[in-house]
Amino acid sequence: MLGEAEGMLLFVATSEAVLGVLGNIFIALVNCTEYSKNKKLSKIGFILTGLATSRICLIWIITFDIYTKLFSIRTLTYFNLYECINYLWIIMNHLSVWFATSLSIFYLLKIAKFSHYIFIWLKRRNNNVFTFLVGCLFVSLFIAIAQFVKMVNDIKMQYRNVSIHVHLEENELLINHAFFQLGILFFFMIAVIASLLLIISLWRHNKLMKLNGSGFRDLNTEAHMKAMKVLISFILLFILYFVGLVLEVLCFIWKEDKLLIILGVIIVLMYPCCHSFILILANNQLKKVSLELLKQLKCCDKEELWDTKQCGMKMNALV
């Protein structure tokens, strides 16, 4: 049974998961609706749809995993279904990070301005850049799945051979998890480099505006600011995502403290949940649709209140 503090934290984690799923469903639906109208999906639409879809699956997997761990559903946790869930988590985790990295590369090549020949070459061949990233995704997935198979075999061997030292098991598990996350770290580094380059481009643009005597912000600067905020938020939330994963791994290896496990899940879910709402606010199309949806909801509420008042007045008249 869960304690009071654990129950409160689990409620927070579940609420985070629900909000994250709703936010990402909204992003996916808006882009799918746009595709059905125009019969064409832009590159940014494809990236956002893929990012939202992979995050929906990722949130469901993380939520399912935490409930099985907390309530000790051993029939699910220690058999083949648990391994299948972990394979799904590997795929969806890599896809989520890959789409987020592709988003940062897209903003860099679309908005940033550099005179260096390498950047110009990359900008002219942006399709080749994304093809290269797809290749890196498959290589990373292959390494991660192979490493996970090794980890599963090591755990099975651990239960067969009781004479293995505990400290060696912990060290091996930590090393395995480090190799397991190599592909994710690679994409994360690419996103950080893209964000830093975009910040440098923005700083140069603002400096040039000041030298030319323009004190106001033009539309291009506003676009830069929005893109920079999205990318910085992605970096900060992704760092928290790694912190949460490390916390879960340490809880699993050393001591299965339910409070720390739930806290780790809350930190992990901040990335797919919060970043989706940041994307909605930063993207003009998504923001416009969300505002229209809120207006319709307000109108519906007003109509319901008006109907309730009318019914109340009729009941009073009859009385």
Tens of pLDDT, residue by residue over 274-315, are 888 888 887 777 778 878 877 777 666 555 544 544 544 443
Q: What is the pLDDT of residues 191-231, one digit of tens each?
A: 888 888 887 887 777 677 666 655 455 566 666 666 667 77
Distance CA 234, CA 248 (A): 21
Burial class (CB in 10 A: 0-12, 13-18, 19+), 271: buried
pTM over 0.75: yes
What length is written for the chain? 319
The model's pLDDT over 153-182, given as tens digits with 9 standing for 90+, comes to 766 666 555 444 444 455 565 666 666 677
pLDDT by residue (tens digit) across 42-94? Answer: 888 888 899 999 999 999 988 888 887 777 655 444 556 777 787 888 889 88
For the chain, which domains are there? 4-283 (1.20.1070.10)
Tens digits of per-residue pLDDT, 102-120? Answer: 888 888 888 777 877 888 8
DSSP structure string for 169-232: HHHHHHHHHHHHTHHHHHHHHHHHHHHHHHHHHHHHHHHHHHHTT--S--HHHHHHHHHHHHHH
Give the C-alpha separation, 219 to 198, whole Å: 16
Has residue 184 got a pLDDT over 60? yes
pLDDT attached to residue 212: 67
Q: What is the percent of the chain with per-residue pLDDT over 70, rounded to a whole number?
A: 71
Measuring CA to CA, which residue among 128, 180, 125 is closest to residue 152?
180
CB 266 within 8 A of CB 16: yes
For residue 43, what pLDDT is reported? 84
The distance from CA 18 to its chain's CA centroid, rounded to whole angstroms, is: 14
According to the model, what pLDDT value does residue 84 have? 79
Q: What is the mean pLDDT of the chain?
A: 76
Res 312: pLDDT: 45
For residue 39, give the DSSP letter.
S
Please, which residues have CB within 8 angstroms of residue 21's CB and are 6 or more apart in sequence? 56, 59, 60
